[in-house]
Amino acid sequence: MLATYGTPERLSPSALHCSQDLASTPEAAFTLLCEVEKWPVWLSCLRTARRLDPDTPFGLGSDVALRAKMSDEEELYEVDQYLEGHIVSLVGAYSVRRRIDFRVERKNGRAKLVVRLDYPSYGGVLGALIDRMTARRRLDRALVDSLVHFKGLVEFQRSAPDELLADF
């Protein structure tokens, strides 16, 4: 059963989608996905990521602070959907229109990571058009590159000897 916090808002049709097939188990992919402090290693649009409640297990209701590369301020998010081994969905603490959804799918013993990123653009039609032509394009490209980095990390963890992983 999918654990949900509140009622999720309808996502905009302009949300960014990206997916990547992984030569890894879904369990290994989900484990790496839940290591929030490592998000800036593979999620290239982030400068920092940290859990605000590191002493509790990561899951529904966990608070996460993210700092984007194009911003000096941290944005707070809360995990509002969580299904062990499958879904982590974050919603902006101050705007439910800001969402980051991660989903790990099982594909014949392998995994597939699907990411959906949604954020509002302000300024009416002109603001949305400018955002679509500038920031959204850069973010879309960064998201594609990020999933390639994630793929490299999770596949390296699967094939690397334990002594190499000690420094990771």
Q: 126-133: long-range contacts (C-beta < 8 A, 24 or more apart)? A: 128/14, 132/14
With the C-alpha atoms ordered 133, 135, 32, 10, is the resulting torsion angle positive or negative? negative
Angle (CA) 126 131 133, round 5°: 100
Domain of residue 136, CATH code: 3.30.530.20
Q: Which two tokens stand for residue 64?
A: 């996460």
Strands 99-107 and 87-92: antiparallel
Q: What is the pLDDT of residue 128?
A: 53
Residue 168 is assigned to a structural domain of this protein:
no
Residue 2 is assigned to a structural domain of this protein:
no
Is the pLDDT score of 160 beyond 60? no
Range of lowest pLDDT (11-15, 32-36, 52-56, 152-156): 11-15
Round to whole Å and give the CA distance between 15 and 136: 9
Residue 84 is assigned to a structural domain of this protein:
yes
Total domains, the chain? 1
- Its domain, for residue 99, covers 15-160
Residue 8 is assigned to a structural domain of this protein:
no
The pTM of this model reads 0.77
Q: What is the pLDDT of residue 114?
A: 94
pLDDT band (50, 70, 90) for residue 1: very low
